[in-house]
Amino acid sequence: MSRSRSPLLIVGIAGIVGIAMLGLAGCAATDASETTGQPTAIAEKTPESTPTQEPEPAKAVPVELTLGETAAAAGCDGYARASEVAPYVTEWGTCTFAGGNVRAYHFASSDDYASFLDAVSGFGIVEGQLVLHGPFVFAPDDQTQLDALRGALPVN
């Protein structure tokens, strides 16, 4: 019979020890007035300490537009992604701006853009004939549309 009581006895002793430990933990936290003889201030929440303004909303994170979305935002209608691969270009396609054909290119890096410029310079194409906008480049067939296209592109 003593064997059946020993698990209960161990559980009972563990419970008593646990309660005693909690009581001791409460006693360990002494009040500063007991050690210094000075009264301690109790922190109260006053109306002045509560925020009166709403927290500021999170700032909008700019969303990166795709080549097609950037072309559409500039009024270059009917963007069609080309299926052919172009050297140094991530994506390219065509659209129509002010009635003229425009080729649009997306570059992964400025190094790729520089390599592209080197490659097309052999065909007489120079940077002044292109509209650079972030990672995108627009090449209108009608060079008189360069300034209009530059002005129509969304602000970065």
- pTM here? 0.60
> How confident is the model over 82-124, as pLDDT tens digits?
999 999 999 999 999 999 999 999 999 999 999 999 999 999 9
Q: Domain residues of the chain, as ranges?
A: 67-152
pLDDT band for 41, please (50, 70, 90 cuts): low
Strand segments (E) across the chain = 77-81, 91-97, 100-106, 131-133, 136-140
The fold of 67-152 is Phosphorylase Kinase; domain 1 (3.30.200)
Q: How far apart are the first and last CA of the chain?
A: 85
